Structure 1
């Protein structure tokens, strides 16, 4: 009985962690696209060209959508869904940036701060997906200036699944619908305030008026 309850708990945690961070990432990506019409229009042109009049963007199309992938990576840089990577423990004494870290010290990495560090990113607060085009940055955690899924042996085990879901959902929403802010709010005035917690959510809900494109 105890073993069954333990397995159920692990499954529940996996579903909760996977769904919350995925939907949070999708909402932030849509928010940035609405706030930045230039990027929205560029992405929509790419989607329209690849989909070629089909009812939906398919999974097979995703590999031919580099700008879509760049949009998602840039959104994850600015709005890392899990701001603090799961704790690590130093295995040996080390001196880092003038600090002495003893073996056995618990270390917590602030991935959110790294993604916005102006020493690492030009115009770090600007949403510019182009910075992720034509480079080797990937989700495996090998570039330590961009860690949306952590790094090393304790990185997120659901990387491929969650990225695939976000790509497919975002592609079809942008391809199939026009989105307008209500009450005459201008795109550039969209409130992007973050609410801090275990995951970084929008402080206010994203409200849009949606109409089908075709």
Structure 2
């Protein structure tokens, strides 16, 4: 929601998709999500920039491994930095910008099959809550956008919103979003 309020043109685009696909007076249903490609792109872009867990579960190297001229010895414990992967300039154009359109027409999911986008991890250690998270995030975001206009607290504009993050076991905004829902 923070990225959409920070980028009001993206919020408007998502709202227009919802109005055109679902209509004004209907409630968003889980079955509607598959018909909302821009909303899906917004969620993927948000997961790319702000994975819930910046470092995935530690892994142990099974054998001596050479990577880019460096040897990683057997039994070394390594961490995968999902946050850095999502902002890698070798993979993503304008990596620090919120650009949901980059995912339109791109067959890239968040289930670990594309190592450029792994907010839930991959392989045997993928997040077991992934199916529920995917369903709930899309449905909740669509419902919040479709049911309400949003107003930032007094004195805050999209341009001066604090988008800094606080790192820890999970990633969160350093300063919580304070926005008021206004019934549409």
The two structures have a TM-score, normalised by structure 2, of 0.96
145, 150, 157: which one aligns with 1:174: 145
Verify: 1:128 aligned to 2:99, yes or no: yes
Q: Which residue of 2 aligns with 1:195?
A: 166
Structure 2, unmatched stretches of 5+, are none
Q: Deviations over 1:72-126 (max 9, x none)?
A: 0001111111000001111111100111012211111111011111111100011
Number of corresponding residues: 184
1:180 Cα offset (Å): 1.1
The two structures, once aligned, show a CA RMSD in angstroms of 1.0
1:205 Cα offset (Å): 1.4
Verify: 1:73 aligned to 2:5, yes or no: no
CA distance in 2, matches of 1:158, 1:210: 28
Bigger drift between 204-213 and 31-40 goes to 204-213
Q: Which residue of 1 aligns with 2:117?
A: 146
Q: Which residue of 2 aligns with 1:59?
A: 30
1:209 Cα offset (Å): 2.1
Verify: 1:98 aligned to 2:73, yes or no: no
1:171 Cα offset (Å): 0.2
CA distance in 2, matches of 1:103, 1:58: 49
CA distance in 2, matches of 1:74, 1:151: 18
1:131 Cα offset (Å): 0.6
Q: For 2:71, what is the secondary structure of its paired residue?
A: strand
After TM superposition, what 4+ stretches of structure 1 lie above 4 angstroms from structure 2?
A: none
Q: Which residue of 1 aligns with 2:16?
A: 45
Q: For 1:184, what is the secondary structure of its paired residue?
A: coil
CA distance in 1, matches of 2:30, 2:126: 25
Q: Deviations over 1:22-55 (max 9, x none)?
A: xxxxxxxx00000101100100000111112333
Q: Which residue of 1 aligns with 2:60?
A: 89
1:155 Cα offset (Å): 0.8
1:158 Cα offset (Å): 1.6
CA distance in 2, matches of 1:152, 1:60: 27
